[in-house]
A and B are shown apart, each in its own frame.
Chain A
Amino acid sequence: MISNEAKKEIDIWVSKYPKGRESSAVMQALTIVQKENSGILNSDLIYAVADYLKMPAISVQEVATFYENYNHKPVGKHVVRFCHNISCMLNGSDDLISYLENKLEVKTGEVTKDGLVSVRKVECLGACVGGPMCQIGDQYYENLTTDKLDKILEELK
């Protein structure tokens, strides 16, 4: 269920915590297996992580449903996480989110027909001086305009 590569990555995280405290690595373990599984978790993966870290499955389930960054429904290959909180809002994030929805013909929370992109409204991502901004993968995109968004979308494959 969990690939050897993912196990190796999880082991690096496990090694950061004291012996017997392997469960501290659960957040990263979930992040790693989610990435391997096209960006979503499912109950098999949750059981597998529980088994690997010797945790009760319910504890892993709790973590998997508490934090924002775990997905339980299909997402696009690329998830555009658009901040709509105060500093971004004051600089026009709402208009840009509508622009994105129209352009991609999706509502926030949905995936484009080709499965390439999904759009999410998220709370503050901590880059307020660069608002309006969004996150795609590991990358932050700041001081966004419709032109910049067009270019960013073009590059997504």
Chain B
Amino acid sequence: MNEVCFKNLGKENPASFTTYEANGGYQVWRKILKGELTPDEIIVELKTSGLRGRGGAGFPTGLKWSFMPRNQEVQKYVVCNSDEGEPGTCHDRDILRYNPHSVIEGMAIAGFVMNATVGYNYIRGEFMEPYYRFEEALKDAYKAGLLGKTLQGSPISFDLYTHLGAGAYICGEETALLESLEGKKGQPRFKPPFPANVGLFGKPTTINNTETFASVPEILSRGGQWFADLGVENSGGTKCFSVTGSVKHPANFEVPMGTPFSKLLELAGGLKEGRTLKAVIPGGSSTPVLTAETAMNMTMDYDSIANAGSMLGAGSVIVMDDTTCMVKTLARLAHFYYDESCGQCTPCREGTGWLYRMLQRILDGNGKKEDLDLLLSVSEKIEGNTICALGDAAAAPVVSFINNFRDEFEYYIKNGKSIIEGEHNLIEEATSV
């Protein structure tokens, strides 16, 4: 456990330059500056490693980097997406707090591979502690001559800056992030053109997630094959999982891909006392919810979770027990997407409001029998009809919650209260008799 991005956890001053260097940090970057590694060699290693974008989409990183027109003589950019905001997700925050240099080194390496001399790390506006840590790390890297112009006598230059957001979930979508970085509303762009051709300030840009960049130095120092072998087929390496909800010890764990869900649950101390497992969202609020039985049979990798009917997403495991009201939980998620829709595409802007208001109506005890089918129908009309994935993300929980726990929704509509409340009342009645 904790072999790649979290490898400095538990050490004294894990975020410091000294700790990072003492544990093999910046060796790859120094090799590059000495001219001992070529961009092609790096791309081959990354492809071998099986590293896939850790932000949620899971696109192969080596392939993404190879798309950049590295020989085109224009300014190119590397951008890190540290706008972590998917409900249930908080491991990038810990990478920034405890291993910021791995992100810096990963971004610098990316800059070298793609011939980009400038990078930006977009950190969400609320992450002030991670921001200060990252800034501190940047200062140290500059002082050590590892960032800046014509580094260590080589022709290589890389300048890295942080950008702070100001509160918008949508800016985690890569093109919305670029808009935001340009000082605009964070509204996603049409694709194509893709950022590799027209990105930040209209220039070729590669965007990766914090965890992805943080994984790169360790992969290159220990070899792509080493990383691939940690995981399973199609899901190379390790992954950081945030395990939250009804568990005894919610925490972040970096474990090999393919780790059984049941093992992850155990690491988090298991369920709270006296509770039984009811449902699991495996990859963050935008991924479909699974029943306890399905979850207990899956392993934490792209294919197994897809076969179970959901997605690995950002690796944000939300655990729900027998006291969780699925109607209330879904209403809360629906409110989130309603609040965070950027308003650009009509199906999402209007649809998320409909979903939220209908669910709230059910919660208030005014639900109608036909509401469930209407919720599904609205979801279907949002899905696939928007510029970015937020629309799909808003629809996925609605569809999966209703399909997997329909009886709970029906009970709520019929009785004007939660089945959970009903059960508890029955227990109370039984004990009082």
The residues of A with any CB-CB pair to B shorter than 8 Å are: 16, 18, 21, 23-28, 30-31, 53, 55, 59, 62-63, 66-70, 81, 84-87, 89-91, 123-131, 135, 138-140
Contacts and interface: CB of A to CB of B under 8 A. Distances in A.
Contact of A21 (B182, B244, B339): B182
Counting from the closest, the 10 A-B pairs by CB-CB distance are A68-B167, A23-B183, A67-B166, A138-B128, A87-B244, A69-B167, A16-B161, A26-B183, A66-B185, A124-B87
A126 B245 contact: no
A62 B185 contact: yes
Nearest to A65: B185
A58 to B, nearest CB: 11
A62 B246 CA distance: 40
Given A129-B244, A129-B252, A63 B184 contact: yes
Nearest to B166: A67
Interface string B154-191: 00000001111111110000000000111111100000
A31 B166 contact: yes
Q: Which interface residue of B87, B183, B340 has the most chain A CB atoms within 10 A?
A: B183
Given A26-B183, A126-B126, A130-B90, 12 more contacts: A16-B120, A28-B164, A66-B342, A67-B165, A86-B87, A87-B250, A90-B246, A90-B318, A90-B324, A128-B88, A129-B90, A129-B250
B349 to A, nearest CB: 13
Given A89-B332, A90-B320, A123 B88 contact: no
A24 B86 CA distance: 24
B336 A31 contact: no
B339 A123 contact: yes
Nearest to A124: B87
Nearest to A125: B126
Interface string B200-235: 010000000000000000000000000000000000
A131 B250 contact: yes
Interface residues of B, number: 57
Nearest to A90: B245
B49 interface: no
A86 B127 CA distance: 19
B16 to A, nearest CB: 21
Interface class of chain B by DSSP: mixed
B251 A129 contact: yes
B242 interface: yes
Contacts of B167: 67-70
Interface class of chain A by DSSP: mixed
B54 interface: no
B166 A69 contact: yes
B183 A126 contact: no
Given A27-B183, A69-B125, A123-B169, A89 B242 contact: no
A26 B180 CA distance: 10
Contacts of B336: 85-86, 123-124
Contacts of B163: 16, 24, 27
B87 A123 contact: yes
B238 interface: no
B333 interface: yes
B123 to A, nearest CB: 10
A59 B185 CA distance: 9
A87 B245 contact: yes
Contacts of B126: 69, 81, 125-126, 135
Nearest to A31: B166
Nearest to B132: A138
A126 B166 contact: no
B32 interface: no
A127 B318 contact: no
B129 interface: yes
Nearest to B244: A87
A29 to B, nearest CB: 9
B389 to A, nearest CB: 17
Interface string B69-102: 0000001000000001111111011000000000
